[in-house]
Amino acid sequence: MAGWITKGGNGAQTSIVDGKQHILLMPAWFVIGILLVIPVLVMLIYSFLTQDFRGGVIWEFTLEAYDQFFIDRGLFGDEPARIEWTYLGIFWRSFLQALFAMVFCFLIGFPTAYFIATRAPKSRSFWLFLITIPYWVNLLIRTVSMKFLIRDTGPLNNWLMSWGVIDDPISMINTNFAIQLGLFYSYLPFMVLPIYASIERYNFALSEAAADLYSNRWTTLFKVVIPAVKPGIIAGCILVFIPSLGAFLAPDLLGGAKNFMIGSLVEEQFKGQSGDWPFGAAVSMILLTIIMIILLFYARAQSRDNNGGH
Amino acid sequence: MAKTSQRISWYPGFREMAWLCLIILYAPLIIVMVYSFNNSPSITVWKGFSLVWYNEVFFGPEAGKFKQATVNSLTIAILAAVTSTVIATLSALAMIRGRAFRGQAVTFGLINLPLMVPEIVTAVATLIFFASIGFERGLLSILLAHIVFCIPFAYLPIAARLQGISNVYEQAARDLYATPGQTFRLILFPMMLPGILSGFLLAFIISLDDFIITNFVKGAGVETLPTAIFGAVKQGIKPNIMAISTLMLAASILLVTISYLISRMGNNRD
């Protein structure tokens, strides 16, 4: 329609920002470059420096931090090198917790997103609004609320006891279960919203066509609907998995001191004077590398999906 | 036909799952709200309605601490939201209007980088950076860190809004000899305003809510509301914490609702 304006006249489309784009982008480049890109590079350097026991670092190159993470040389450092399982174990546990959080969020989130997307427009936007609110509510307050709810003397145990379901309070706080519940609760809206966005664009005529060809409901769901909305599902899974992997609040407030996750391990290294900055930097670097690899695979899968149709 | 398609798209149990999802999301929040009005020094036994804990928050022994933390939080949130909104608006203009340019994809990645790097990693990197250049930790370091992660949150609604505005209006203004500055001020900016406002509000909420990054870069003695609450929770959940939480909940819900109404208003006008 507007083609004659944009393409007509003296040939090229002009815009009010032409030739000034670099100036307009300067603030963003500077701010993010200086306050995020450079800090990550400095963190990389720090992970190769020597620990200063008064906090901070000594500017001497060493692989000590990565050695401490991966290799066990015994208590006095004189035994033959073996694989150090302490930190890999923490990463593995965090990985599993994040994976389970992702799976449970999907099991609740997918039906919810599907249900919302099949509502009438009015009630659809209201449901969406209700799901969006917790997304914006302070994560600290949500985690504290969960802690309050499931404490030994909290409302949940009180009700269960007063209804006679249990005789003694179930000890839920400071367990892996509590962390799991906290992660699930924290990131549930992150799963619903992208899946909803995909289902909203799904053409339900495809479901009808499947039904006309004698596919039953569930076959249609697994063979037609889910493949069609796969990009939304993957986006939701990533949005739950990544923050869960580096989560700090849920393990700290709900898991207590014994149930370490990556986030608490990192935080520990920067607390007070006793911390080990190079080790904390190395752990952060390893976490960042894992996440960048996941995002890279995601980006490649996405561009393959986009090109696959042509 | 419509009836058939509705039945085909229906699955048993999905409605119940959706309600379960709502209950899971809201139950802990509602329980904290209810118990913040509890007239009892013990936080688990319900003893009737009272505002005693709100009184404690505003006039109790810890009132000064929380008041200072609130002032800090609001100051940082306003400054961070204004700065990041300006940066995001300029970036959106350059990214969405005008020709494609070299490095556009990289720039897009850069703007969204704060969303991709896990918060704990950003926190560590920022702390180390400030320490390595000898930058004093305090309100200014918190503000700088907040501006960075607010940029993508401000950018998304502004860019979405700008994408929805056809460029025929600018073209018409230019044809009528408006300067680029006038075209922006009189034509484009008013049309972008709903997106800019909702970007500002989202940046404001995100800054107000941040705990992890603030906790790393704040330095000793400086507290924002979330770090003050975290410190108090570490001593055990007292009822005044629930009262503060309820107030913050109310503030967040209010801001999200306003942002939602603004963006809907903007969309309806077209």
Mean pLDDT of B7-27: 90
User: Chain A partners of B108 at a C-beta cutoff of 8 Å?
Assistant: none
Q: Tell me the nearest-neighbour CA distance from A227 into chain B, angstroms.
A: 15
Architecture of domain A89-309: Orthogonal Bundle (1.10)
Give the closest of B99, B212, B245 to A141, CB-based.
Answer: B245
- Does residue B5 surpass a pLDDT of 50? no
Percent of chain A topping pLDDT 90:
47
**CB-based contact B26 A134, cutoff 8 Å:** yes
On whether ipTM exceeds 0.90, the answer is: no
Query: Which residue of A141, A238, A297 to mutate against B (max B Cβ within 10 Å)?
Result: A141
Residue A272 confidence (pLDDT): 67
**CB-based contact B17 A115, cutoff 8 Å:** yes
Mean pLDDT of A227-242: 92
Residue B99 confidence (pLDDT): 81
User: Chain B partners of A277 at a C-beta cutoff of 8 Å?
Assistant: 128
Pick the most confident of A151-165, A263-277, B180-194.
B180-194
Residue B43 confidence (pLDDT): 66
Provide the chain B residues 188-227 that lie in CB contact (below 8 A) with chain A: 188, 202, 205, 208-209, 211-212, 216, 226
Mean pLDDT of A153-180: 84
Give the closest of B18, B126, B233 to A116, CB-based.
Answer: B18
**CB-based contact B233 A132, cutoff 8 Å:** no
Least confident among A223-232, B119-128, B229-238:
B229-238
DSSP states along chain A: -THHHHHSTTSS---TTTTTHHHHHHHHHHHHIIIIIHHHHHHHHHTTEEEPTTSSEEEEE--HHHHHHHEE--TTS-SPPEE-HHHHHHHHHHHHHHHHHHHHHHHHHHHHHHHHHTS-HHHHHHHHHHHHHHHHS-HHHHHHHHHHHHSTTSHHHHHHHHTTS-SS----TTSHHHHHHHHHHHHHHHHHHHHHHHHHH--THHHHHHHHTT--HHHHIIIIIHHHTHHHHHHHHHHHHHHHHT--HIIIIISTTTS--HHHHHHHTTSSSS--HHHHHHHHHHHHHHHHHHHHHHHHHHHHHHHHT-
Mean pLDDT of A84-95: 91
Residue A60 confidence (pLDDT): 86
| Of residues A9 and A149, more confidently modeled | A149
Mean pLDDT of B11-20: 93
| Of residues B151 and B269, more confidently modeled | B151
- Does residue A8 surpass a pLDDT of 60? no
**CB-based contact B118 A267, cutoff 8 Å:** no
- The whole-chain average pLDDT of chain A stands at 86
A204 and B CB contact within 8 Å:
yes
pLDDT band at B97 (very low <50, low <70, confident <90, very high): confident
Q: What is the pTM of this model?
A: 0.88
Residue of chain A whose alpha carbon sits nearest to that of B145: A35
Q: Where are the domains of chain A?
A: 89-309
